[in-house]
A and B are shown apart, each in its own frame.
Chain A
Amino acid sequence: MMSRRKMSKKILVLSIAMLLVGALAVTGFAQQVISVQYGEPWKDLFESAIVEFEKTTGAKVDRMLIPYGVDMWEKIALDFAAGVASDVLMVDGFTIADCVEAGYIHKLDGYVKEWPDWGQYYPAFKAMGSYQGHVYGITLETSANAILWYWKPNFEKAGIPMPWKPKDWDEVLETAERIKERLPDVEYPLYIPMGTKWGEGATACGIYSEILGADTSEGDRNRLWNYTTGKWIGSSPAIERALNFYREVLSVRKLCPTEAMYAPDVWGEWRRLMREGKIGIGQGGAWEWAEFWPEAIRPPEEQRADFLGWAPLPGSGDPGTPPIQTISGGWTVAMKKEAKNPDLAWEFLRILNSKERLAKWLALAGKLSMRKDSAEVPEYGENKFLMEIGKLLPYTTYRDAVAGYTTVSHYLQQAMEKVAVDGLSAAEATEWYKNKLIEEFGKDQVEIIR
């Protein structure tokens, strides 16, 4: 019989051997693992890509899902700062520049050069994921903002002819006044997103749309950043006119009570108000065609058109202003700068962004495609709404892909609150905004357009 001592020795040797084998296996395996982080709204798209990726490459994906209700961008930014971000992750288009400056994301120039599908992307969306001429993110989805949604039953009751296509801001305001006068139960005759609780939504889905159509579109007069001079625009007729439009709607004509701008869930509240017919006209993005209703109660597409109409937001109507304008945003998918296996991570990006997968998912989610060839996929090409709203894409532009944009956007949200809540005139709020930019970036980095 084996002595207890010998037995212990054998167990010890065996344990060490097993640990070594395990460690070797893990080390070998680690080279074939990538981590991927994505938000719950994109779950179907990512998970189908993960299945294909694992099947074709034999590698494993360590997945990290960010659930609904979590501020996704904040989580990703903190993960970056803490050095625990995933290899592949989503980066909101407007933060690409800031992420590049922070050294967080990987350049994709070499990969897209070899990728035939890259030629199918519209230039505006190639630019959305780029910074200083280099590609850092592949735009995953987009939409057209500056859409005026209107609730058809309210228009019918107020006797407003449909389809409604306003020519200028005055016509928008007059229509909203008419709804207010004839339908006192409609709490929000004209809903426009505003303020810091809306966050970037108040800029991207809100005031930037007005700014783009406020003045003559010569040069960058209708923007926040002047690409020619390389400076932030602290004050301009476009910014002041846009703020004045907000003042008219929220403070002077009282067409939009500010309460909904500070609800616990501003996005959820705006969608609820719309689908319950408590809004006459509401400014938002095209993707909301599907998202006004939670999935469980979402009516089929053909029925939605019985309730919901849309029109592009017109320009201000002042001489020389554009007749319509729109601005697109969207999330990009990018690679962390320190990704352990960039080639494998790129392989995942390539599979994720394939023509068929993307087009089918976009059609289902009611979002616009950045690729010219999506229309060839029947699910997308036969979607009447997407094909119609896609006609706005030639007019679209994107947010200023410049480091510091997020800060500028925050001050603009505060300037909106100055006219809507604090009772300042548009000129005073513009002055306040200009001073904040000077304080932030210095006088030589901010210009005034007259």
Chain B
Amino acid sequence: MRENTKLTVSMLSPTLIFLFFLLVAVGWAIYASFTDIMLLGPTAKSPQFIGLRNYERLFKDPFFFNSLIKSVIYTSSVVAGQCVLGLFLAVLMSQKGVKIKSAVAVAVTLCWIIPDIVKVYTWGAFAHYEGTLNSILRLVGVSSVRWFSEKPLEVCIIGNIWSGTAFSMILFLSALETIPPQIYEAADIDGSSSWQKFRYITLPLAAPVILVDLLLITIWTFGYFTFVFGLTGGGPGHATEIYPVFIYNEAFRLYKIGYGAAVSFIMTAIVGMICIGYLILLRRLEKV
């Protein structure tokens, strides 16, 4: 019994240490969100408690709403794109006799595993006015486009889909492998078309995994800062100022740590609500 207690404590201790540091940081951020603390200037030294003023200000700030709208467009497009493309690629990978599948798998996975900042520069060079994308367009008779000033949010969305699809592909591939081949064989005997097999076998059986994938990509994309910040810095103007970039600009460009903390808590609440929504859906799906 004593041995068991010792083991339990020793196994729990890393979690407790982690929780301690997490709670200290979260506690400090909660405190900061109720103060006028800044990174520089007089209030860095002696911040004042200002109650809910940061939160009140937030709901009057047009840039906050702009960033929220931009984030919803960005996240939903990226999530839909990665999920659909990932599913398509996973189905392709699971087919027998497709010769290029190894090459596709390597290419897609490489885009995913390279460091974020390399992704930014690679995609930036690809979509540059003098880059590969415009060279391809010119070959087919389309004139060059200044993507970063004319279609900045679209460039960020497509770039993120390109760089992140591998995760969905791998997840779906593992889900597809759990579907017994006998079901497909029975469907073949019944004369089902490929589409019917996908619609009535693959999709329902992979649905819980799809939902988990959606949940994870939504959380990651909503809070994913590096790609958009590195690519456009939130510009031109505020055209790509998604929520995490807005937080960064407030906290580190304008040095308003207190306000930045308040904005972060609202983001946590939003992501939390999205997660709850997904989890409810997942429960319902499991009951069906």
B45 (CB) vs chain A CBs: closest residue: A103
Q: Nearest CB to that of A98 among chain B residues?
A: B40
A74 touches B252 (CB 8 A): yes
Whole-angstrom distance between the Cβ of B91 and the nearest chain A Cβ? 34
Are B40 and A99 touching (Cβ within 8 A)?
Answer: yes
Instruction: Say whether A197 contacts B40, CB under 8 Å.
Output: no
User: Are B254 and A407 in contact, CB atoms less than 8 angstroms apart?
Assistant: yes
What residue in chain A is nearest B152 (Cβ atoms)? A262
CB nearest to B245 among chain A residues: A196
Given contacts A257-B146, A406-B255, contact A264 B236 (CB under 8 A): no
Which residues of chain A are within 8 angstroms of B239 by Cβ–Cβ distance?
A: 421
- Contact, CB under 8 Å: B236 / A417: yes
Contact (A196, B42) CB under 8 Å given A259-B129, A264-B124, A410-B254: no
A421 in complex: contacting residue of B120, B146, B236, CB < 8 Å: B236
Q: Which of B40, B147, B236 contacts A77 (CB 8 A)?
A: B40
Interface residues of B in 115-157 (CB under 8 A from A): 120-121, 124, 128-129, 146-149, 152
Indicate whether B44 reaches chain A with its CB closer than 8 angstroms.
yes
Does A257 lie within 8 Å of B44, measured CB to CB?
no
Are B148 and A262 in contact, with the CB atoms below 8 A? yes
* Chain A: minimal CB distance from B126 (Å): 11
For B120, give its contact among A187, A259, A261, A264 (CB under 8 Å): A264
- Using A257-B149, A406-B255 as known contacts, say yes or no to A262 and B235 having CB atoms under 8 A apart: yes
Q: Which residue of A lies closest to B233 (CB)?
A: A197
Closest residue of chain A to B155, judged by CB? A262
Contact with A264, one of B40, B146, B230, B252 (Cβ below 8 angstroms): B230
Q: Tell which of A103, A196, A259, A418 touches B233, judged by Cβ atoms closer than 8 Å.
A: A196
**Interchain CB contact under 8 A, A261 and B45:** no
- Asked if A77 and B255 sit within 8 Å, CB to CB, the answer is yes
Interface residue tally of chain B, by bracket? Answer: 20 to 34
Q: Would you call B236 and A261 a contact (CB within 8 A)?
A: yes
CB pair A258 B149 closer than 8 Å: yes
We find that the number of chain A residues with CB closer than 8 angstroms to chain B is 35
Contacting residue for A263 out of B41, B148, B252, CB 8 A: B148
Bound-complex Cα distance A327 to B233 (A)? 26
Bound together, the chains give a CA A258 to CA B236 distance in angstroms of 8
Using A101-B41, A102-B41 as known contacts, say yes or no to A195 and B252 having CB atoms under 8 A apart: no
Question: Nearest Cβ in chain B — how far from A76, in angstroms?
Answer: 10
Cβ of B39 < 8 Å from any Cβ of A?
yes
Residue A160 lies at the interface, judged by CB distance under 8 Å to chain B: no
Beta-carbon contacts of A230-268 to B below 8 Å, as 1s and 0s? 000000000000000000000000000111011111000
Q: How many angstroms from the CA of A207 to the CA of B230 in the assembled complex?
A: 24
Indicate whether A404 sits within 8 Å of B148 (C-beta atoms), given known contacts A196-B234, A197-B235.
no
**Alpha-carbon distance between A103 and B239 when the two chains are bound, in angstroms:** 37
- With most chain A CB atoms within 10 A of its CB, the pick from B40, B129, B146, B238 is B40
User: Which residues of A are found within 8 Å of B257, using beta-carbon distances?
Assistant: 81
A407 contacts which of B121, B152, B233, B255 (Cβ < 8 Å)? B255
Task: Tell me which residues across on chain A come within 8 A of B230, comparing CB atoms.
Answer: 264
Of the residues B44, B146, B234, B253, contact of A259 by C-beta under 8 Å: B146
Asked if residues A81 and B236 are in contact (CB atoms below 8 Å), the reply is: no
List which B199-233 residues lie within 8 A (CB) of chain A. 230-233
Question: Is B237 part of the contact surface with A, judged by Cβ < 8 Å?
Answer: yes
Instruction: State which of A78, A102, A187 has its C-beta within 8 Å of the C-beta of B42.
Output: A102
Q: How far is the CA of A418 from the CA of B238 in the complex (A)?
A: 10
Among A95, A102, A187, A410, which residue has its beta carbon within 8 angstroms of that of B253? A410
A381 within 8 A of B: no
By a CB distance below 8 angstroms, the chain B residues around A112 are none
Contact B253 A199 (CB under 8 A): yes
Say whether A59 faces chain B, with CB atoms less than 8 Å apart. Answer: no
B121 interface neighbour in A257, A259, A264, A404, Cβ under 8 Å: A264
Residue pair A103, B124 in contact (C-beta under 8 Å): no
| A408–chain B nearest beta-carbon distance, Å | 10
Output the least CB separation between A77 and chain B (Å).
5
CB distance from B145 to the nearest CB of A (A): 10
Asked whether A81 lies within 8 Å of B232 as measured between CB atoms, the reply is: no
Question: Is B249's beta carbon under 8 Å from chain A?
Answer: yes
- Interface-centre pick from B42, B237, B249, B254 (highest chain A CB count, 10 A): B237
Chain B nearest CB: distance from A16 CB in Å?
A: 28
- Once the chains are docked, how many angstroms separate the CA of A422 from the CA of B232? 16
Give the docked Cα–Cα distance between A196 and B128 (Å). 19
Measured CB to CB, the closest approach of chain B to A423, in angstroms, equals 10
Give every chain B residue within 8 A of A158 (Cβ-Cβ).
none
Take A417-B236, A421-B235 as given contacts and tell me if A262 and B149 are in contact as well, using a CB distance cutoff of 8 Å: yes
| Residues from chain A with Cβ under 8 Å of B44 in the complex | 81, 101-104
Given A265-B121, A406-B255, A422-B237, 15 other A-B residues pairs in contact with their CB atoms under 8 A: A77-B255, A102-B41, A104-B44, A196-B235, A257-B149, A258-B236, A259-B147, A259-B148, A261-B236, A263-B128, A403-B41, A406-B254, A407-B254, A417-B238, A421-B149
| 8 nearest A-B residue pairs (beta carbon) | A197-B233, A102-B44, A98-B40, A264-B124, A421-B237, A259-B149, A103-B45, A421-B236
Q: List, sorted by A's number, 27 A–B pairs whose CB atoms are closer than 8 Å.
A: A80-B39, A80-B40, A81-B39, A98-B41, A99-B40, A102-B38, A102-B40, A102-B42, A103-B44, A104-B40, A104-B44, A187-B129, A196-B234, A196-B249, A197-B232, A197-B233, A197-B235, A257-B146, A259-B146, A262-B148, A262-B149, A262-B231, A406-B254, A407-B254, A410-B253, A410-B254, A422-B237
- Taking beta carbons and an 8 Å cutoff, which residues of B are in contact with A? 38-42, 44-45, 120-121, 124, 128-129, 146-149, 152, 230-239, 249, 252-255, 257
**A interface residues (Cβ-Cβ under 8 A, vs B):** 74, 77-78, 80-81, 95, 98-99, 101-104, 187, 195-197, 199, 257-259, 261-265, 403-404, 406-407, 410, 417-418, 420-422
